[in-house]
Amino acid sequence: MTRAENIARLSDSSTFDVLVVGGGIAGAGLALEAARTGARTALVEARDFASGTSSRSSKLVHGGLRYLALGQFGLTRESVRERTVLLRDAPGLVTTQEFLVPVRAGGKNGKLKIGLALAVYDFFAGARTRRWRGAADVQAAIPGISADGLRGGWSYGDAETDDARLVFRVLREARELGALAVNYLEVEDLARGPAGVEGARVRDGVTGESFEIAARVVVNATGAWSDRLRRKVGAPPKLRPLRGSHLLFAADRFPLAQAVGFFAEDGRPVFAVPWEGAVLVGTTDIDHRADLDIEPAISRTEFDYLLHAARREFPALDLRENDVVSTWAGVRPVVASGAHVDPSKEARDHLIVEEGGLLTVTGGKLTTFRSTAVAALRMASTRVPALGRASEAARIFAPTAARTSPALNDLPPPVARRWLARYGDAAAEAAAARVLPDELETIGPTPAVWAELRWACRREDVVHLDDLLLRRTRLGLLLRDGGAEILPRVGDIARAELGWDDARWRAEAERYRALIARCYSLPVEA
């Protein structure tokens, strides 16, 4: 169903049971779990799906080992449990990733301290993954790592994902269960009635038209923007937006077969993680004071901090500024405690609160989106009794149909596995949609193939070029200059599938290049 058809259904429908505002992982999870109960569910997103924090994360599905040091045992236990569920229910999309944490003489985090934390981690997971490795083993496993004071290291199991593709897979599952989800629909105002908030007036960012959506429950899942919607019901601010930034290196300059967690000079944890054929380094944790309507970007200070940390831990690689392929920054919706000056000490627990009939869900982690959604919907069951059936017992994704895998037999096995993970049963349709013989060829050093661009244009609500290259695919992150070299061929696909004329393509390409230069490249400011 096209975006225009979904908008027509939204504007013509009678009252929904649940209207979710926000199309990141929190909103997608809420829409899925609400639809699973049989509730009539709609979701609107002011920009593009996953365009906020949910495409700019550290790509990790993890328990948050560092949260143990802050005494956040409940959050770690919940996260480890949900990581296990995601590994089970989203194979290929959420994948295991071994981490190795070097231990150095004189460091604040010694063998015993890290080992005890990992023992708790393993206890919560119900499986032992931790293993002590000697210094020679660590050096053999991690090319270029510093030998300075190296005593050995702990390895343990965690997981990673393509965060944006996880959002799209969750949204697809929600739609299969009857939910409507539309991007570029911004809430202009909330509708009030005897029960408080009873819907919203939304504006279509494509046509400029406005209309009202009536709903028995309105859920605010707008992440870092949550306080903005809460202000409409007179609620005081609760969030402390924190920015986390990342660097991405080509794998040939930063060869890693496993993830490495290490400590920067100031003692903060940093990691280097193999991801999508490249290696990302992150993350920072600083107060984000800029306008949330302006896309976040890494600062020069953050860039230098991460590059220095990587150079210090991997001196033999001689990493330089021009080795960085891309950067990105995301703003975390952290609930402010008022007790900490250091942003890193703020808790990452979620917040679920009802105010004036508006239910707000924010502050959580990528890993715990499902359990948070279930808890929020149960709270809303006083208005919609069906939501009381929300449960963590069901699998997040239904198993693919028996006919799907055979329909992919003519694909290269890596492509078939990749598409099953990202598209589920739609993988068969994606395979049938390719046009040119070479559309199954990979693009540069990435695992993506050309047919993914065509499929995204045809079936995944692409409105702008950055939707296609930064979220439906991750080519804008994985290729230098946002993939400038491939834009001519991307333009051919967009013209054919989206009906863009030459003028529209030129405008989109110019807009995209400016965005890449401003938010995904090396910083230019001091």
Is residue 284 reached through a cis peptide bond, with omega within 30 degrees of 0 on the bond before it? no
- Please count the other Cβ atoms lying within 10 Å of the Cβ belonging to residue 386: 16
What distance in Å separates the CA atoms of residue 326 and residue 306, rounded to the nearest whole number?
Answer: 13
The DSSP secondary-structure symbol of 398 reads P
What distance in Å separates the CA atoms of residue 194 and residue 22, rounded to the nearest whole number?
Answer: 24
Closest CA to 249 of 207, 199, 309: 309
Q: 376 Cβ partners below 8 Å, 6+ apart?
A: 30, 219, 352, 359, 361
What distance in Å separates the CA atoms of residue 102 and residue 109, rounded to the nearest whole number?
Answer: 10
| pTM attached to this predicted model | 0.96
Cα dist. 135→38, 101, 111, 119, 315 in Å?
55, 11, 12, 21, 16
Asked if residues 195 and 202 have their Cβ atoms less than 8 Å apart, the reply is no
pLDDT value for 336: 81
Burial grade of 339 (CB within 10 A; 0-12, 13-18, 19 or more): exposed
What distance in Å separates the CA atoms of residue 504 and residue 508, rounded to the nearest whole number?
Answer: 6
pLDDT value for 340: 56
The CA-based angle 152-275-484, given to 5 degrees, is: 140
What distance in Å separates the CA atoms of residue 44 and residue 190, rounded to the nearest whole number?
Answer: 13
pLDDT value for 346: 59
Tell me the backbone φ, ψ of residue 457, rounded to 5 degrees: -60, -40
Asked if residues 455 and 461 have their Cβ atoms less than 8 Å apart, the reply is no
The 3-state DSSP class for residue 13 equals coil
Asked if residues 205 and 244 have their Cβ atoms less than 8 Å apart, the reply is no
Whose tokens are 């949900």? That residue is 82
pLDDT value for 345: 61
Strand partners, 249: 279, 324
Asked if residues 261 and 255 have their Cβ atoms less than 8 Å apart, the reply is no
What distance in Å separates the CA atoms of residue 21 and residue 361, rounded to the nearest whole number?
Answer: 10
What distance in Å separates the CA atoms of residue 312 and residue 229, rounded to the nearest whole number?
Answer: 43
Per-residue confidence in pLDDT tens, the chain, 526 aa: 789 899 999 988 789 999 999 999 999 999 999 999 999 999 999 999 999 999 999 999 987 777 777 777 888 889 999 999 999 999 999 999 999 999 999 888 899 999 998 998 899 888 899 999 999 999 999 989 999 999 999 999 999 999 999 999 999 999 999 999 999 999 999 999 998 999 999 999 999 999 999 999 999 999 999 999 999 999 999 999 999 999 999 999 999 999 999 999 988 999 999 999 999 999 999 999 999 999 999 999 999 999 999 999 999 999 999 999 999 999 999 888 766 566 666 566 778 999 999 999 998 789 999 999 999 999 999 999 999 999 999 999 988 888 898 999 999 999 999 999 999 999 999 999 888 889 999 999 999 999 999 999 999 999 999 999 999 999 999 999 999 999 999 999 999 999 999 999 999 999 999 999 999 999 986 5
pLDDT value for 71: 73
Q: Residues 336, 342, 345, 350: what is their CA dihedral angle, to the nearest 10 degrees?
A: 20
DSSP strands (E only) in 283-396? 286-287, 324-335, 351-355, 358-362
- Domains of the chain and any CATH numbers: 3-53+164-238+347-389 (3.50.50.60), 95-159+242-333 (3.30.9.10), 434-519 (1.10.8.870)
Cα dist. 279→56, 260, 296, 348, 437 in Å?
15, 11, 21, 25, 30
Q: Residues 182, 186, 187, 189: what is their CA dihedral angle, to the nearest 10 degrees?
A: -150
pLDDT value for 343: 66
What distance in Å separates the CA atoms of residue 198 and residue 207, rounded to the nearest whole number?
Answer: 25
Q: 477 Cβ partners below 8 Å, 6+ apart?
A: 248, 325, 326, 328, 470, 520
What distance in Å separates the CA atoms of residue 277 and residue 126, rounded to the nearest whole number?
Answer: 30
Phi-psi region of 338 (alpha: psi -120 to 50; beta: other; left: phi over 0): left
Cα dist. 468→67, 249, 498 in Å?
35, 21, 11
Q: Which amino acid is at 251?
A: A
Query: Which tokens is 26 given?
Result: 């929190």
What distance in Å separates the CA atoms of residue 324 and residue 278, rounded to the nearest whole number?
Answer: 11
pLDDT value for 218: 98
In 380-501, which residue ranges form alpha helices assigned H by DSSP?
413-423, 426-433, 450-459, 465-466, 475-478, 487-498
The 3-state DSSP class for residue 264 equals coil
